[in-house]
Amino acid sequence: MGRWEPNARMRLVRAAIDLCSEQGYDVTTVAQIAERAGLTKATFFRHFPDKREVLFAGQEEHSALLAAGIGSAPVDASPLEAVATGLHTLTASFTAEQRAFGPRIDRALATSTELQERDALKSVGLAAAMTDALLARGVAEPTARLAAELGVLAVKQGYARWGAGDRDDVEEFTRHALAALDDLRAAAASLS
């Protein structure tokens, strides 16, 4: 594959996921990722500040999709109904290739405390995006924060269920995430 071919960013993501799942995150270098992608280190650094961030590519887009979905929910939607709309917007954007990434990224995460910390920051970022979108709808801050945290848990649980499934049905992620949100809503109601 020539250096001039399109999709350099996705080629780097694929190469990083492959290498980190094959040999571990700590021993994988930026040079190896660039070489596997058929690109240069300079190209890598035009797209990503470091090797950790290549494994979390798309986080900004995911946050934006969640916020847009929440913003597009009907005016009379409850906070969790608005979060459900955000989850639908996000999960509908996922592809079968992203599903295949899941187990390989999980293998890399399991080998690195640094990646586990970055994964926690990703969750914080997703929660912040949902909280801000809910606050913009006029939801009180404690309620917005709680709804957003439930949304993050629903994304994680839905993704885990989707990744463990046998089918290539992309819409299955949406069903799993919304079912997880319903389970969490019921669990929260049982707290009082």
CB atoms within 10 A of CB 56: 18
Residue 1 confidence (pLDDT): 45
Q: 119 φ, ψ to 5°?
A: -65, -40
Nearest residue to 80 via CA among 129, 145, 128, 126: 145
Distance CA 129, CA 182 (A): 20
The pLDDT > 70 percentage for the chain reads 95
> Considering the chain, what is the average pLDDT of its residues?
91
Q: Residue 191 — φ and ψ, nearest 5°?
A: -70, -25
Same domain, 12 and 47: yes
Structure tokens at 90: 């996000």
Sorting pLDDT into bands at 50, 70 and 90, what band is 109? confident
Q: What angle do CA 110, 153, 15 make, to 5 degrees?
A: 40
pLDDT band at 35 (very low <50, low <70, confident <90, very high): very high
Ranges of H-type helices in 24-140: 30-37, 41-47, 51-54, 59-72, 79-91, 96-110, 113-136
Q: How many domains does the chain have?
A: 2
Model pTM score? 0.87
Do 114 and 168 belong together in one domain?
Answer: yes
Do 91 and 166 belong together in one domain? Answer: yes
Q: Let me know if 89 is exposed, middle or buried by CB neighbors in 10 A (0-12, 13-18, 19+).
A: buried
128: CATH: 1.10.357.10
As a whole number, mean pLDDT of residues 59-69 equals 95
pLDDT tens-digit map of 121-178: 999 999 999 999 999 999 999 999 999 999 999 999 998 888 777 556 667 889 999 9
Model pLDDT, residue 96: 78
Give the mean pLDDT of 93-101: 81
pLDDT value at residue 41: 95
Question: Two tokens at 2?
Answer: 């020539």
- Residue-range definition of the domain harbouring residue 180: 59-189
